[in-house]
Structure 1
Amino acid sequence: MIVGKAKKRRDGKSSFLTLLAYTTTRDDHHHDDVIDPETQKARLSQSKEAIFERLMGYIHRHGDADKSLITERFPDGRHQVLFDQVLCETNTLSVATAAVEMQAVALKNTRCKDPVYHFFLSWPETDSPTVEQIFESARHSLKALGMSDHQYVTAIHRDTDHLHCHVAANRIHPVTYKVADDAYDISKLHKASREMELKYGWTRTNGCHVINENNRIVRSCSKEKSMPDDAKKLEYYSDQESLYGYAVRECRSEISEILKADSIYWERIHAVLIRAGLELKKKGAGLAIYHRAHPEQTPLKASRLHPDLTLSHLEPRAGPFESSPKVDTYDKDRLVFGYVIEKSYDRRLHARDHSARHERRLARAEAREELKLRYQHDKKEAKCPSFDAKNRFRTLSMTFRFRRAHVCVAVRDPLMRKLAWHVLAFEREKAMAQLRLQLKQERAHWHRAPENRRLSYRLWVEQQALKGDKAAISQLRGWAYQAKRDERTAYLSDTVIECAVSDDIAPVELKGYTHHIHRDGAILYKKEGVTQMIDRGETIEMARPFENEGDNMVAGLRLAEQKSGEKRVFSGPREYVEKACSLVRDLNEMGETSLTLTDSLQQKRVCEMRPQDKPAPISFDSPNLTP
């Protein structure tokens, strides 16, 4: 059982309302929604008034009691409720009013700066805890924190790869109004999770406390430090590889082997970092790792890479610190004797693509950068028109100026002239106010029109994906990856063509098929409204590959032809693989294409397959497909 605690705001303005709205309601877009150019879904308002109205609306909306259905009550005052399809447990009067109840209690203690407490519990895929076990784990964790009698709401979420629950609690006791001490809370939560793992036999996880070989809970002795928060945010929210992640992937294992040796030399440590395009330097009283090509970038603390990579550990064994040796420039036409940079960190590259080829990683990163520049350009160009406001105000002002001049000539009595001027001044202000209101209405009408509405970056990318933009489809898949939702487009079939990592292509026009793009970047190819194929970039899934003389298998190979060809492997039942191999042979014999499989066994099967060994032939003259 994995324990996590949300990072608190530094300004002390954490809100029970926003926290409970996040944990109990599901207002976000679903990743398996089809992108429709006619309808553009805007995100709901996040103001406290709007959030509270939505929470109350789930109970009172049109009298629909199913939005908040109490499933079970307990003698100690707590109850379980199905709230907006999210199963919750709370000891407050209602989930919708829990935020108000907690805030009312928190106001009784004026010394506590931040009474909001939020943590979550997560279970690996190998565990399948019941609902009662999940809620029991949450209550046990609250008891370990000394908040068993405090107000809380626990919500079970199943929208990620791992089943987890969020616990929102009030640190102020509802009777004594004393604040619960949150010192060493992470250690307490980890110990409580180990106790639940022993009780129910769940998968044992690491943390501040671990279970030893004698089934006893002891303090962990791990020296490796966790990923810095900035690096974690960069990789999770932006899908960009951090300097920490790059250094760990390229250097940690080799540095660990060097530090385990009996004799340690600074030169060997520098050699490992040089090959990765990094440099070890002194910074203050310690060591830091810099990016050689961009030394102005924020460096990485050396102990983050390895806990023993510090001056206090290394100087007694390796001597005084030695600077990095000179780096030679690689030249294929001459023999290089010095240290050469073999790789380099590029912040534009994406964390999920590290196993892809470097050329395609660069191409994908450049396409994403160009996509952002195009959005910025379109955003600048999409300006609200002026509606000729300047000339209209000027014309109105000139009209009253002429009327004032006419009064000067037509009215000779000074008192009547002055009175007429006052009347004109009043009429001028009235006309100016009417013109301002008219312009405001015209601008509001212009903004209400869907074609004039300024799109957010996500909505703009969805519109570009509908136009067949490969970079936009890749961006959608990146967002789906970072969210790690289980609600992605459901898997279609186990008959699959496996392709290379980040092998993205634009939608392909296939006769008889229509394509639709989901919010997770999956391209669905349908025939008569029924999904026949799904292109996820790294895989092509085909349903019913043997029906209609194998139309879907032929179409799947047409899609695979458009890929890079770095990886092309059939995966699925043996019958499917055999027939797909025979189809590749027939395609190659017809001379239409040279389709090469990357799996040696499958390629050998294609080459050795004799005519009598081949399964029943599949027609290539199907009227539903174009070559």
Structure 2
Amino acid sequence: MVVVIPKKRRDGKSSFLKLVFYLSFREDNPGDIPVTADAFFDRPSTSKIAVFDRLIDYIDRHASPESQHLITHLPDGSHRILCEGVLCQTNTLSIETASSEMNAVALKNTRCKDPVYHFFLSWPETDSPTVEQIFESARHSLKALGMSDHQYVTAIHRDTDHLHCHVAANRIHPVTYKVADDAYDISKLHKASREMELKYGWTRTNGCHVINENNRIVRSCSKEKSMPDDAKKLEYYSDQESLYGYAVRECRPEISEILKADSIYWERIHAVLIRAGLELKKKDRGLAIYDRVHPEQTPFKASSLHPQLTLSKLVPRIGEFENAPRVMEFKNEQGEVTLTNYMVSSHYDDRLHLRDHQARMTRRLERAEAREELKLRYQTDKKEAKCPSFDAKNRFRTLSMTFRFRRAHVCVAVRDPLMRKLAWHVLAFEREKAMAELRLKLKEERAHWYRAPENRRLSYRVWVEQQALKGDKAAISQLRGWAYQAKRDERTAYLSDTVIECAVSDDIAPVELKGYTHHIHRDGVILYKKEGVTQMIDRGETIEMARPFENEGDNMVAGLHLAEQKSGEKRVFSGPREYVEKACSLVRDLNEMGETSLTLTDSLQQKRVCEIRPQDKPAPISFDSPNLTP
């Protein structure tokens, strides 16, 4: 069981209202909505007023009663309620008044700047806790924090890859109005999690406390430092591989082996980093790792790569620090490197994405360049899309000149000073009235122009969706990149277990197949339909086929045509044995007819394709046989 405490606001303005709303109401952008040219998803407003209005609607019973109802009352005074499909438990009067009750109690303690406390518990996919066990774990965690009698709202969410439970609590006691101490809260929660793991036999996870071989909970001693915060944010929010992540993947195993050896020297450590395009340098009183190709990249502590990679631990073993040796390259007349004293096999590239680091470098670079070109095209389109002025300046100037002429006419036509002054006042009033009418008219014209879908300034995500509709491969790849971090329930549901596995980040544009129409979803999935029914799904790395044996295997043949358009780096049939046998026989038939040139990457399946002979193929079932009856 994993415990996560989200970072708080630094201004002390955490809101019970927004937190309770997030726990109980889920209105996100589903990933399985088809992308269309004229329909845009409008995310509900998360402003305080909008959130409060939606909660008031619930109080007034404007929400559908079948979606929110009371489940049960518990002996301790708490109760459970199903709210918009989310099962919640709270010891307040109700979910809709929980934030108001918590705020009322929090106002009794003026010294506590931030009374909102929020954490969540997550379980691996290998564990299947019951609802009772989930809520018991939440109550046990609150007890470990000393907040067992405090107001709380607990909600179970199943909209990610892992089942998790959010807990929102008020740090102010509802009777004594004393604030609960949140010092060492992570350590307390981790210990409580280990206790629940021992009680229910769940998968053991790491943390401040671990379970040793004697089934005792002890403090953990981490040998490796955690990822720096900047690198973590870059990889999580931008899906870009950080310099730290690249160094760990390329160099940490070899550095660990070198530092375990009895005899080591600085040149061996430098050689490993040079091979990855990195360099170890002194920084202040410690060591840091830099990018050799782009020194402007922010370096990171060498001890983050390995805890032994520090001056205090290495100088006593191998002597004073030695700078990295110079890399010498000898090139021929064509500019190609023919000889070097240190081989450089890879470089860090901040354009590459984290999710496809196992893909071939050529395809990674192609994808990164396509994404960069996609962003440049959006910026160009954004600059060119300008709102028309509606000739507002000339229209105001014309109106002003009209009243100026009328004022001059009054000066000539009206000789009485009092009447002239009165006429000027009337003209001034009419002028302001006409100016106001013109401003309202211009406002209405602009609003009418903005309401037209073709004139709307699109956000980057919506613009990418429209480009994907046009068959842009980079846009489809970008949609899949966004879906990589998305929640599982928001993605397009899986179609079938009969699959053709392809290589990592093996993206292609939609293929025109006879009898099929293609549709693109917001998560980058391409659906191929026949007569309105989904027959195939292309997710990039997999091709799923429904009903592969119907109509003489039409869907399997179409799936093979899709797989032929892929890179061919990986092409493996996955699914029931009957499906794999049938697919292998189809590969041989199509290759013999010259329609495709497919080669399977699985040696056993390729051997099966080569072994199949026409006489080996199963004979079609005939009801004329005396042994079979219809």
TM-score of the two chains, using structure 1 as the length reference? 0.95
Distance in 1 (alpha carbons) for counterparts of 2:469 and 2:343: 45
Where does 1:233-248 land on structure 2 (aligned, <5 Å)? 233-248=233-248
Where does 1:192-211 land on structure 2 (aligned, <5 Å)? 192-211=192-211
> Larger deviation: 564-573 or 386-395?
564-573
Distance in 1 (alpha carbons) for counterparts of 2:536 and 2:317: 61
Give 1:455's aligned amino acid: L
State the partner residue of 2:180: 180
Distance in 1 (alpha carbons) for counterparts of 2:330 and 2:17: 59
State the partner residue of 1:389: 392
Which secondary structure state, in structure 2, belongs to the residue aligned with residue 327 of structure 1?
Answer: coil
- State yes or no: 1:533 paired with 2:547: no
Where does 1:60-459 land on structure 2 (aligned, <5 Å)? 60-62=60-62, 64-329=64-329, 331=331, 335-459=338-462
Unaligned residue ranges in structure 1 (runs of 5+): 618-627
> Residue 77 of structure 2 contacts residue 91 of structure 2 at CA under 8 Å; is this kept in 1?
yes
> Residue 289 of structure 1 contacts residue 299 of structure 1 at CA under 8 Å; is this kept in 2?
yes
- State yes or no: 1:571 paired with 2:540: no
> Residue 400 of structure 1 contacts residue 424 of structure 1 at CA under 8 Å; is this kept in 2?
yes
Q: CA deviation at 1:195?
A: 0.3
Counterparts in 2 of 1:461 and 1:63: CA distance versus 1, 3 Å: closer
Distance in 1 (alpha carbons) for counterparts of 2:559 and 2:535: 10
Which secondary structure state, in structure 2, belongs to the residue aligned with residue 554 of structure 1?
Answer: helix
Distance in 2 (alpha carbons) for counterparts of 1:519 and 1:364: 19
Unaligned residue ranges in structure 2 (runs of 5+): 621-630
> Residue 387 of structure 1 contacts residue 439 of structure 1 at CA under 8 Å; is this kept in 2?
yes
State the partner residue of 2:588: 585
Give 2:397's aligned amino acid: R
Where does 1:433-582 land on structure 2 (aligned, <5 Å)? 433-582=436-585
Q: CA deviation at 1:483?
A: 1.9
CA displacement 1:294-331 (0-9 Å, x = unmatched): 11121111111111111111111121111111123375
State the partner residue of 1:620: none
Distance in 1 (alpha carbons) for counterparts of 2:116 and 2:26: 21
Q: CA deviation at 1:452?
A: 2.4
> Residue 515 of structure 1 contacts residue 526 of structure 1 at CA under 8 Å; is this kept in 2?
yes
> Larger deviation: 22-31 or 372-381?
372-381
Distance in 2 (alpha carbons) for counterparts of 1:105 and 1:64: 30
> Residue 582 of structure 1 contacts residue 615 of structure 1 at CA under 8 Å; is this kept in 2?
no
Give 1:551's aligned amino acid: D
Which secondary structure state, in structure 1, belongs to the residue aligned with residue 62 of structure 2?
Answer: helix
Q: Percent of pairs identical after alignment?
A: 83
CA displacement 1:487-534 (0-9 Å, x = unmatched): 422221121111110001111111211112222211111111211111
State the partner residue of 1:17: 17
> Larger deviation: 586-595 or 558-567?
586-595
CA displacement 1:94-132 (0-9 Å, x = unmatched): 112211211121121111111111111111111100000
Distance in 1 (alpha carbons) for counterparts of 2:561 and 2:340: 49
Counterparts in 2 of 1:477 and 1:528: CA distance versus 1, 3 Å: same
Counterparts in 2 of 1:466 and 1:334: CA distance versus 1, 3 Å: closer
Which secondary structure state, in structure 2, belongs to the residue aligned with residue 62 of structure 1?
Answer: coil
Q: Find runs of 4+ consecutive structure 1 residues off by over 6 angstroms.
A: none
Counterparts in 2 of 1:483 and 1:448: CA distance versus 1, 3 Å: same
> Residue 329 of structure 2 contacts residue 337 of structure 2 at CA under 8 Å; is this kept in 1?
no
Which secondary structure state, in structure 1, belongs to the residue aligned with residue 339 of structure 2?
Answer: coil
> Residue 465 of structure 1 contacts residue 517 of structure 1 at CA under 8 Å; is this kept in 2?
yes
Q: CA deviation at 1:480?
A: 1.2
Q: CA deviation at 1:335?
A: 4.9
Q: CA deviation at 1:339?
A: 1.6
> Larger deviation: 582-591 or 76-85?
582-591
Counterparts in 2 of 1:390 and 1:287: CA distance versus 1, 3 Å: same
> Residue 327 of structure 2 contacts residue 340 of structure 2 at CA under 8 Å; is this kept in 1?
no
CA displacement 1:572-610 (0-9 Å, x = unmatched): 222222222222222222223322222222222222322
Distance in 2 (alpha carbons) for counterparts of 1:78 and 1:105: 17
Which secondary structure state, in structure 2, belongs to the residue aligned with residue 339 of structure 1?
Answer: coil
> Residue 578 of structure 1 contacts residue 615 of structure 1 at CA under 8 Å; is this kept in 2?
no
State the partner residue of 1:622: none
State the partner residue of 2:2: 2
> Residue 58 of structure 1 contacts residue 84 of structure 1 at CA under 8 Å; is this kept in 2?
no
> Residue 328 of structure 1 contacts residue 340 of structure 1 at CA under 8 Å; is this kept in 2?
no
Q: CA deviation at 1:445?
A: 2.3
Q: CA deviation at 1:544?
A: 1.2
Give 2:156's aligned amino acid: I
CA displacement 1:217-261 (0-9 Å, x = unmatched): 000011212122222222122111111111111111111111111
TM-score of the two chains, using structure 2 as the length reference? 0.95
Distance in 1 (alpha carbons) for counterparts of 2:34 and 2:410: 67
Which secondary structure state, in structure 2, belongs to the residue aligned with residue 256 of structure 1?
Answer: helix
State the partner residue of 1:597: 600
Counterparts in 2 of 1:67 and 1:97: CA distance versus 1, 3 Å: farther
> Residue 290 of structure 2 contacts residue 299 of structure 2 at CA under 8 Å; is this kept in 1?
yes
Distance in 1 (alpha carbons) for counterparts of 2:562 and 2:72: 52
Give 1:321's aligned amino acid: F
Aligned length in residues: 617
> Residue 212 of structure 2 contacts residue 218 of structure 2 at CA under 8 Å; is this kept in 1?
yes
Q: CA deviation at 1:378?
A: 2.0
